[in-house]
Amino acid sequence: MTLKSSLIKGLFLSVVLVAFQQAALAQTNKLPGPRVNAQPGAGGPKTPPAQVIATHGKWQVQCTDIPVGPPQGGQAGAAAAGSGGKGDKTAAAGGQPKTVRQCGMLQSTASSERKNIALTLVMGTSKQKDKTVTMMRILVPIGVYLPLGIALEIDGSPVGRVPFIRCLPQICTAFAETTDETLGKMRKGANANFIIYEAPGVGLTLPISLQGFTAAYNDLKKL
C-alpha cells in the first residue's frame, strides 16, 4: 500500500512549514556550513512561538496562531483566512493582523550512522467535506537524492514512499496524504523508519518512535 501524494491547496500547504519553523531551524543548524537565523520583523508579521498542547512519548502536539493578512478590514487578509486551514480565524481589534490557528503533531530524530543528519516529521489534519484528511510532511537537509523520495517502513515492513515537493536553501520537504491503512499501521506499530537517499542504493535510516502516536493523534483531531 502506498501513500497517496496530494498537493493539498489552501492554508495548510502554505503555513505549516512556518508553524513549525523552530523544528526546521534546529534541524538545519545541526548541519555543516552556514547557519539559518530567524529574522524577527522581516518579511511581514512575526510568527509567535508554537504552543505545546500535549506530549505523548516523543510526540508533541503544537499549535501556532499564524498571521494571514493585514489588520482588520484588509481584503487580502480575509481572502487568505478563507482559503482553508484549521481553527478559528480571528480579526483582532486595535489594528492587529488576522490570524488562523494551525495545529499539528511532530517528532524529530537523527541518523544513528551520521548524527549531523536529522529529520522532522509533522502530521496535520484538515476537513474536506465530511472527511478528515491527514497530511504527512517531512523536513530533511538538502543534498538528498530527490527522485527516490523518502521510504517508509513500519516495524520492518515496507509501507510506501513520500515524494519531495520543494527545497528551500537548507531544507527539503516531502509531502503526502496519509491513507487510513497507513494510519492504522502507525497506531498499532512500535517503530517507523524513514529512509532518505544520498544516491541510488545509498540510504540512511532515521527512526521515529510510534509510542504515544495514537494519543497524540486523538488530541490533534480534537483541536
Mean pLDDT for 74-103 is: 58
Which of 94, 66, 56, 100 shows the shortest CA–CA distance to 82?
100
Look at residue 113 in the predicted model and tell me its pLDDT.
82
Query: What residue segments make up the domains of the chain, in order of their start?
Result: 11-75+101-222
Q: What is the CATH number of domain 11-75+101-222?
A: 2.60.40.1880
Look at residue 95 in the predicted model and tell me its pLDDT.
65
Residues contacting 50, CB < 8 A, separation 6+: 19, 20, 22, 62, 63, 64
Look at residue 56 in the predicted model and tell me its pLDDT.
98
CB atoms within 10 A of CB 175: 23
Look at residue 151 in the predicted model and tell me its pLDDT.
97
Mean pLDDT for 178-188 is: 97
Look at residue 28 in the predicted model and tell me its pLDDT.
40
pLDDT digits (tens, 9 = 90+) for 19-69: 344 444 444 443 333 333 444 444 455 667 889 999 999 999 999 988 887
Look at residue 128 in the predicted model and tell me its pLDDT.
85
* DSSP 3-state of 13: helix
Q: Which residue has the higher pLDDT, 213 or 76?
A: 213
Average pLDDT for the chain: 77
Look at residue 8 in the predicted model and tell me its pLDDT.
34
* DSSP 3-state of 117: coil
Q: Which residue has the higher pLDDT, 8 or 195?
A: 195
Look at residue 68 in the predicted model and tell me its pLDDT.
80
Asked if pLDDT for residue 191 goes beyond 70, the answer is yes
pLDDT digits (tens, 9 = 90+) for 102-149: 999 999 999 888 878 999 999 999 988 888 899 999 999 999 999 999
Look at residue 93 in the predicted model and tell me its pLDDT.
54
| CB environment 112-138: b (16+ within 10 A), e (fewer) | eeeeebbbbbbbbbbeeeeeebbbbbb
DSSP state of 146: G
pLDDT band for position 96 (cuts 50, 70, 90):
confident
Look at residue 173 in the predicted model and tell me its pLDDT.
97
Look at residue 3 in the predicted model and tell me its pLDDT.
44
